[in-house]
Amino acid sequence: MKAIILAAGYATRLYPLTKNKPKPLLSIGDTTILDYLIEKIEKVQVIDGIYIVTNDKFYPHFIEWKSTYFGSKELVVINDETTTNDNRLGAIADIQYVIKHADIRDDLLVLAGDNLFDFELTDFVDFFDQVKKDCIAVFELEDYEELQQTGVVTVDAENNIQSFEEKPEKPKSNLAVPPCYLYKQETLPLIHDYLLEGNNPDAPGNFIPWLIKHRQVQAYKFDGKSYDIGTLESYEKIKEVYDKEK
């Protein structure tokens, strides 16, 4: 299995914090968002390669960060060659860029570089191995306004995904979806097909409504929460949460 961390955005909503610093390298307590994710990935023995996809502007920052990585996995920083928010590829196109650039033919974990979550990836991967289907992580979220700002799914009695909406005006359930996905190796060519059809290349969740028309996708329900760091307010909130837990 391989892992991709999406880190090619320009985080304009977090200016001035991210004007000259990539969002995944922002501090959370005595660590960074990226180090938090890497620590969770390191625990998954079956993952033997980590790919961090970024843009040309922030590529040097991640290369510098890589010099501090002494983990057990092969770690590669990939430059998607974009230079501004206006010419960015989009998250799904970045996934395809890495698959092609690194010739990935294994099962694949995809994470956003700006999202923290309570569950262990080891448990998620164990579930994936059991059900032998593409999987997405979900959790119960009771705040209606927060549901309107995230991906929301409905599931059947076997927890197969029935519908997925990104930032719905009227959420159909309380099952929120953080950007955390596990894809079977045979699913990877479908990402190329999705893009070839001219579908939205941006937010990674946009791929799911298309994918469930082609194959079953399983929901992995976890206890706890996920934290999306999209604004200055949300960044300050997660720092407070982290400090309370320490």
Q: How confident is the model over 47-94, as pLDDT tens digits?
A: 999 999 999 999 999 999 999 999 999 999 999 999 988 899 999 999
Percent of the chain with pLDDT strictly greater than 90 = 72
Q: Per the structure block, which two tokens stand in for 20? A: 């000259």
Highest mean pLDDT: which range of 4-8, 9-13, 166-170: 4-8
What is the value of pTM for the model shown? 0.94
**Average of pLDDT values for 115-137?**
95
Among 14, 36, 28, residue whose Cα is nearest residue 121:
36
Domain map of the chain by residue range?
2-245
Question: In CATH, what is the architecture of 2-245?
Answer: Alpha-Beta Complex (3.90)
Q: Is the pLDDT of residue 229 over 80?
A: yes
Tens digit of each residue's pLDDT (9 = 90 or more) over 190-201: 999 999 999 999
pLDDT at 243 exceeding the cut of 80: no
Can you give the pLDDT at residue 244?
A: 66
Asked which of 96-105, 113-122, 227-236 is least confident by mean pLDDT, the reply is 227-236
Residues 11, 18 contacting (CB under 8 angstroms): yes
